Structure 1
Amino acid sequence: MTDPADPDRLKHLAEALVDAARRAGADQADALAVDGRSVGIDVRAGDLEQAERAEGVEIGLRVLIGGRQAAVSSSDHAADAIAQMAARAVAMAKEAPVDDNLGLADPSQLSAGRDAQGLEIAEDAPEPDPAHLQDMALRAEAAALSVAGISQLESANAGYSRRRMWLAASNGFSGGYARTGHSISAVAITGEGLKMERDYAGESRVFAADLPTPEEIGLLAAERTLARAGARKPPTGAFPILYDRRVSASLIGHLLSAVNGSAVARGASWLRRDLGQQVLPVGMDLVEDPLRPRFPSSRPFDAEGLATRPRSIVAAGVLQGWTLDLATARKLGMDSTASAARGLASAPSPSHSNIVLTPGQVSQQELIAQMGRGLVVTSMLGASINGTTGDYSRGAAGFWVENGEIVFPVNECTIAGNLRDMLLTLIAADDALPWRATEVPSLLVEGMTVAGA
């Protein structure tokens, strides 16, 4: 068993797992060791509502035998437990179906960098005191309640987390890094009974100094909530839809799902035949950059030990490539884009980090004026998305626009269309928010179906 005080504890655990897997009969193996701690404080009506703290170390192992694989995880780090874990994983792999595309990276493919130096994704500072977090949450609540019309706060929260991980594999890779996060949020309420409306504001950052003040969060939650007072259903018909920057990333998220190598390899993507074709308006780029300093989802290497790098997913509206891990790349006869992500008890799969869409040249207000009559969407719920055809239907709320001006808040409506058609008509505003894993401005879609009153 490793010493809890050992600074290289995670490295030793991950490498011990790989060694145990090889002794148990695995052809190849990779392992994750993760430790983390988090604290969250919720306040309500000026008092502490809830305090949560979690910490622990967990390990995960993947083994490969003759084109078969299995993955297991545990929170028991004793030597006997690791040996039993490896034996169990090998036994499971022997019963798994064969996939000749499975396998670790060749040593020549591995990242030379084995840490996150230069990325600034972990703050080297003491963990904040719970009393400090409570004070932040109380300040956010007080700021929201200072605004006339706010009857109560559903919650105000401040939190902190620190997570370290180490990846080791039988191909010689061994590397790891830490990540920190600070967050603050508030949910405000106006009205009573059936006329009650709520909205929220929240932000998270790697460094505490990059967070907005609690007062800014509280006041923004109040402003958004008051704007929703008197919400009603919109008309039914075909109208332009403006996705506010709070939700516009979800629209681009559907495109990212369609270029995911797993969906493409299964034939379950509506973009599966569109490589090299126009999927966004001319002049619009979609770029991934996992190496942006101080961004929460930056990472120096992927879950298979390959060096991450900036890449273009869409350039001038044209689809440039799929998002691939090693297995999906082999299935499609391509190279991995170093996009693998994995959990402790799951195999790698393609994923994205730090997506940026080309911003427009006009403000959101100018787009609202341009749309004339239609819907501004600020929140969404439920979804019916056909990944193979691109047919799209979602519940939405926001604001109705007449003559280029917002006239009343909207709730309980459904918006529908087809993603291929929707994305080709996008007009972007210039208001993308920073620090987001998907940095997307407000987006105007020329025509969709709105089902309201």
Structure 2
Amino acid sequence: MTAPLDHLTAQLLDAARKAGADGADVIAVRGTSLSIRVREGALEQADRSEGIDLGLRVLVGQRQASVSSSDDKPDTIAQMAERAVAMAKEAPEDPYAGLADPSELTTNTDLKSLELSDPSDEPDPAALQDAAIRAEAAALANKGISQVQSAAAGYGHRQAHIAATNGFSAGYARTDHGLSCVAISGAGTEMERDYDYDSRVFGADMRDAADIGRIAAERAVARAGARKPPTGAFPVMFDERIASTLIGSILQATNGQVIARGSGWLRDKLGEQILPKGISLTEEPHRKRTSSSRLFDAEGLATASRKIVDDGILTGWTTDLATARQLNVTKTANAVRGTSSPPSPGVTNVTLTQGDQTQAELLADMGTGLLVTSLIGSTINPNTGDYSRGASGFWVENGEITYPVNECTIAGNLRDMLMTITPANDARAHLSRVVPSLLIEGMTLAGN
């Protein structure tokens, strides 16, 4: 019989104490995933996996070590604890390592209010196959589509429980439903590819499969005949589909571990303006039906909304307990962890202030420039913010899209780029990162 996760975490903590640990925390994760891929109206691949993963961190004085296993047998649990304690005794001292004080732990651990787990039954594989087939058929109904590279549907359910010797113990469940379609127009060297997808916590919130296939096809057809744009300095619009990558650069550069190492292109910008006035970047860990939401972090602290950037001003770093101690700053309850590593800082959901114009209206204001819908590769200097990426999308003349573009490079510096952004109003509210299309005043384009 499969043991409940809270029982397994308690066994691991007991084993850690018996092995000689001064303190310990543990995470146990049990998950199920199902994926279906179709091709030419027939099943191409079906995968199902089930498993459990255990992760244990022990502390011996100021030394720590982590071990993991996918075996929950009692003998294995004892061996994990013994091995972890032996490793910790040989590890260097870390003056910042340690569990939360019991007084810091949250008692609000009932995640039902966040609606992170779909109570409906696991979808039947035949239903997932039917959805993928309908997406593929809708894409192929477009006469400009030569083939569908992939149409896939999936489902996942995960239960997790976190516990520590300081008394914290809480668990949660999450589900995710997904459907994607990748369509190809043209043939040979003239092939162009694009996609559409949807991913939700609740299956009832999913967009219609045919709609996903239709939009993937329309996007692929629109890219037919792509060519290089002119070389020079031009304004660039980051489409909503990829605009969150820019904001991701801020999140990476404000991570407490990066700052603690003395690196990051924003390390000397605390309290200074890094976005235009009127634009804020807010973390919202309690949004309902959003995959990254949580009431407590991996160290048992209560999460709360906060402004990472407030009216353009950088307000602070994202920390777990260790980095907050090292930087001597207020902890933000942003610890995340997997089963094979100790906690580290990570954000939940973020929202960037939206503008009051549509993407089309911003393109009209832009005049002549590039609308980027896809990014390829990445060369971003984490210390200076120098930015260079391959891009494709559409060339804009006099505010109107004129032809598709590929094989070009866009470059700039993130500090300069982000200070000139103008957001549109097209962000999708259900995503973990709610970021609209972003117009940047000027970047260097390398094309023809």
Q: In 2, Cα distance between the equivalents of 1:277 and 1:112?
A: 36
RMSD: 0.8
The whole-number CA distance in structure 2 between the counterparts of 1:115 and 1:88 is 33
- Give the C-alpha shift of residue 263 in structure 1: 0.6
Q: Is the aligned partner of 1:364 residue 2:351?
A: no
Aligned residues: percent identity?
Answer: 60
Q: Which residue of 1 aligns with 2:293?
A: 298
| Equivalent residue number for residue 27 of structure 2 | 32
What CA distance in whole angstroms lies between the structure 2 residues aligned with 1:211 and 1:272?
40
Counterparts of 2:353 and 2:10, CA distance in 1: 42
CA drift at 1:26: 1.0
1:78 paired residue number: 73
TM-superposed deviation, 1:216:
0.9
Partner of 1:65: 60
Alignment of 1:323-342 (within 5 A): 323-342=318-337
2-structure distance, mates of 1:25, 1:15: 16
2:347 pairs with 344, 352, 374, which one?
A: 352
**1:113 Cα deviation from its structure 2 partner:** 1.7
Equivalent residue for 1:103?
Answer: 98
Alignment of 1:12 with 2:20, yes or no, is no
2:212 to 208, 211, 217: 217
**Aligned 8 A contact 1:326 1:335 in 2:** no
One-letter amino acid of the counterpart of residue 184, structure 1: L
* Partner SS for 2:377: strand
1:348-391 deviation per Cα after TM superposition (whole angstroms, max 9, x unaligned):
11101110000001110111111111111101111111111111
1:378 aligned partner: 373
Find the counterpart in structure 1 of residue 439 from structure 2. 444
Within 5 Å, give how 1:72-151 maps onto structure 2: 72-151=67-146
* Alignment partner of 1:259 is 2:254: yes
| Equivalent residues in 2 for 1:224-235, closer than 5 Å | 224-235=219-230
Give structure 2 stretches of 5+ with no counterpart: none
4+ runs deviating over 2 angstroms:
none
- Residues in 2 aligned to 1:136 and 1:282: alpha-carbon distance in whole angstroms: 45
Q: Structure 2 counterpart of 1:122, which letter? A: S
- In structure 2, how many angstroms separate the alpha carbons of the residues matched to 1:422 and 1:32? 40
For residues 82-126 of structure 1, the C-alpha deviation after alignment (integer angstroms, 9 at most, x for no partner) is 011111111111222211001010011111122312000001111
Q: Is the 8 A contact 1:288 1:355 kept in 2?
A: yes
User: Partners of 1:223 and 1:441 in 2: how far apart?
Assistant: 21
What is residue 201 of structure 2 aligned with on the other side?
A: 206
> Normalising by the residue count of structure 1, what TM-score does the alignment of the two structures yield?
0.98
1:434 pairs with 423, 429, 435, which one? 429
Partner of residue 249, structure 1: 244
Q: Distance in 1 between matches of 2:348 and 2:235?
A: 30
Shift of 1:15: 1.3
2:16 equivalent in structure 1:
21
Residue segments in structure 1 that go unaligned for 5+ positions in a row: none
Q: For residues 20 and 329 of structure 2, what CA distance do their matches in structure 1 show?
A: 30
Say yes or no: does 1:393 pair with 2:384.
no
Cα deviation digits, residues 190-245 of structure 1 (max 9, x gap): 10000001100011000011110001100110111111101111111111110000
The answer to which of 182-191 and 14-23 deviates more is 14-23
What's the CA shift string for 1:262-290, capped at 9, x where partnerless? Answer: 11111111111111110100000100011
Amino acid at match of 2:17: R
Q: Determine if contact 1:120/1:294 at 8 Å carries over to the other structure.
A: yes
How far the C-alpha of 1:335 sits from its partner, in A, is 2.2
Q: Which residue of structure 2 lines up, in the alignment, with residue 192 of structure 1?
A: 187
Shift of 1:434: 2.1
Q: How many residues align?
A: 448
Q: Deviations over 1:1-60 (max 9, x none)?
A: xx31x5xx1001111111111111111100011100010000011110100101111111
* Deviation (angstroms), 1:412: 1.1
| Distance in 2, Cα, partners of 1:69 & 1:373 | 56
Amino acid at match of 2:111: A
| Alpha-carbon separation, structure 2, partners of 1:214 and 1:277 | 45
* Aligned counterpart, 1:318: 313
Q: Tell me which amino acid in the other structure corresponds to 1:350.
A: P
CA deviation after TM superposition for structure 1 residue 299, in Å: 1.1
In 1, the alpha carbon distance for the partners of 2:194 and 2:117 equals: 30
Query: Residue 359 of structure 1 contacts residue 428 of structure 1 at CA under 8 Å; is this kept in 2?
Result: yes
SS for the counterpart of 1:94 is helix
TM-score by length of 2: 0.99
Cα distance, 1:185 vs structure 2? 0.6
